[in-house]
Chain A
Amino acid sequence: GQSLEQPSEVTAVEGAIVQINCTYQTSGFYGLSWYQQHDGGAPTFLSYNALDGLEETGRFSSFLSRSDSYGYLLLQELQMKDSASYFCAVRDLGGKLIFGQGTELSVKP
């Protein structure tokens, strides 16, 4: 089976940096993805790590350690519009995504 754990909610202030952790247990692993979902909207792709290390895309970075079955999403210079749910997801060989429970990020002024 597969399971992913991430915090249920995180609160931070505008301009701050926040890290959302994700640990996983999977029978097959072909990468860790991160998706953002605003209330009532579609998930949108943020980042993907297949190999260990840090991937940076603008204000968002994602890290993976396969030996620790652990990854994180780092959001810098937080803006109010970053308030959303963030999901980590493990991809298997067939391309299926198995999602974590999601972390609700609230950005306060």
Chain B
Amino acid sequence: GAVVSQHPSRVICKSGTSVKIECRSLDFQATTMFWYRQFPKKSLMLMATSNEGSKATYEQGVEKDKFLINHASLTLSTLTVTSAHPEDSSFYICSAPSSGLSYEQYFGPGTRLTVT
């Protein structure tokens, strides 16, 4: 099946710094990718839709200046958490619809962000 990778898998940073998370579709092209945030024992909360070659679409309540999304190519989307604070600590997961069967989404392994 299709594979989506994320890097890094785990990151610890200090308050006030920025962190970039990469999401790659390894064996298929993804014009659209999605970014989610998940708290322990909680659901996946959709943050934004990343669109190749255009601006991302953010869900209500998500600060676009804080969570910068760039979809520079058909296989790469990045999420940058700017001026991170401890409350940004979370599990961030990206996904991409499969190319053939669009109802199925492939998820990356997630990135555990801890802000100290």
Contacts and interface: CB of A to CB of B under 8 A. Distances in A.
Interface of A: 30-31, 33, 35, 40-45, 48, 50, 87, 91, 94-102, 104
Interface in B30-46: 32, 34, 41-46
Given A42-B93, A43-B93, A95-B97, A33 B103 contact: yes
Given A41-B109, A42-B93, A96-B34, A87 B43 contact: yes
A96 B43 contact: no
Q: Is the interface of B mostly helix, strand, loop or mixed?
A: strand
Interface residues of B, number: 22
Interface of B: 4, 32, 34, 41-46, 49, 93, 95, 97, 102-110
Nearest to B49: A96
B43 A48 contact: no
Contacts of B109: 41-42
A42 B103 contact: no
A13 to B, nearest CB: 23
B107 A94 contact: no
A41 B97 CA distance: 18
B116 to A, nearest CB: 20
Given A98-B46, A100-B43, A43 B34 contact: no
A12 to B, nearest CB: 19
21 contacts: A30-B103, A31-B103, A33-B104, A33-B105, A35-B107, A41-B110, A43-B93, A44-B107, A45-B104, A48-B103, A87-B43, A87-B44, A91-B103, A95-B32, A95-B97, A95-B102, A96-B46, A97-B105, A99-B44, A100-B43, A101-B43
